[in-house]
Amino acid sequence: MDRAGEKLKRSRERLKLTFRDVEQASIKIADRRGNDEFAIALSRLADIENKGTLPSIFRIYSLSAIYRLDFDEVLRWYGVPRDQVAFDAMQIGIEQTHPAQLSVNIPANIPAELEVEIDSGQTTFLGQLLRRWGKLPLAFLAAADLKQHRYGFIGLEDWSMYPILQPGALVLLDENKRKIAVNGWTTEFDRPIYFLELRNGFTCGWCSLEEDQLLVQPHPASRAKARVFAYPGDVDVVGQVVGAAMLFGNQRRRVTASAPSTSPDL
């Protein structure tokens, strides 16, 4: 397999660019960006191509721009799969609930024609299909307009909305739905769950608004306590939870029946 430096060299030679041409072009980029790190000296370019020297993220940017290359593709040449950041992030357990600013809007590897027809109205086992499709990003599973959404991660010690939201769940947030709903649901599964930013952390919960106070109510099964915050001074509504990806039973509960919520308190 060709080294990344060799691929960059061929890209330069296809455009008939000399080392001096690349150096001058990178200096212009550095001037426009106001950062000398974007500049690539002749000797450094030679080392990148011939000695396997690892370029900085700034120089990868400049080389991608000069050679008209896809930035993510050049990162992959160096063994950095940027499209796998979301996957790797979900393998790292974090106790605190927090927003997850991850880009998962990656095209799914779905074949143009399927051997079987899927009836979306019927429950279907996708095991064999997913093996043939390969990776299937959350963006496809969510079936949502991701431009209007952000993500949050339910901390491994946050049981406040258990069992509806398991600790470790990745939740899809609609930032356009920040107004606290006062009605419109018939069951606990219909009632809106809001993702909230506190002064020292984040949490999820059902919410009720009374004048300048926001009541955050956990699920009764969580054994967590309801909390009241000055609104909007002490809490901000990030958005409504409109989707979730989670594994069931993957966490062992470490709280007792009398224990308060493990979500951040003021």
For the chain, give every domain's residue range.
4-77, 90-245
CATH superfamily of 4-77: lambda repressor-like DNA-binding domains (1.10.260.40)
Say whether 67 sits in a helix, a strand or coil.
helix
Average pLDDT over residues 45-70: 94
* Predicted local confidence at residue 42, as pLDDT: 94
Q: What percent of the chain has pLDDT over 70?
A: 73
Please, are residues 196 and 205 in contact by the beta-carbon 8 Å criterion? yes
Strands 201-210 and 194-198: antiparallel
**Is pLDDT above 80 for 124?**
no
**Is pLDDT above 80 for 90?**
no
Average pLDDT, the chain: 79
Please, are residues 261 and 224 in contact by the beta-carbon 8 Å criterion? yes
Residue 179 CA from chain centroid, whole number: 24
Fold of 90-245: Umud Fragment, subunit A (2.10.109)
Q: Sorting pLDDT into bands at 50, 70 and 90, what band is 142? A: very low
Average pLDDT over residues 137-158: 64
Tell me how many helices (H) and strands (E) the chain has.
8, 8
Average pLDDT over residues 44-62: 95
Phi, psi (degrees; rounded to nearest 5) at 13: -70, -35
Strands (E), 101-181: 149-153, 170-174
**Is pLDDT above 70 for 223?**
yes
Strands 235-245 and 170-174: antiparallel
Element at 75 (helix H, strand E): helix 71-77
| Nearest Cα to Cα of residue 58 among 78, 41, 35, 81 | 35
* Predicted local confidence at residue 108, as pLDDT: 42
Q: What crossing angle do the helices spanning 4-14 and 42-50 adopt, rounded to 10°?
A: 120
Q: Which amino acid is at 89?
A: A
148 vs 142, more confident = 148
223 vs 35, more confident = 35
* Predicted local confidence at residue 192, as pLDDT: 95
Taking only Cα atoms into account, the Rg of the chain, rounded to an integer number of angstroms, comes to 25
Please, are residues 227 and 162 in contact by the beta-carbon 8 Å criterion? no
Phi, psi (degrees; rounded to nearest 5) at 80: -110, 100
* Predicted local confidence at residue 169, as pLDDT: 84
Average pLDDT over residues 214-220: 94
* Predicted local confidence at residue 92, as pLDDT: 77
| Nearest Cα to Cα of residue 165 among 206, 132, 198, 225 | 206
Q: Sorting pLDDT into bands at 50, 70 and 90, what band is 199? A: confident
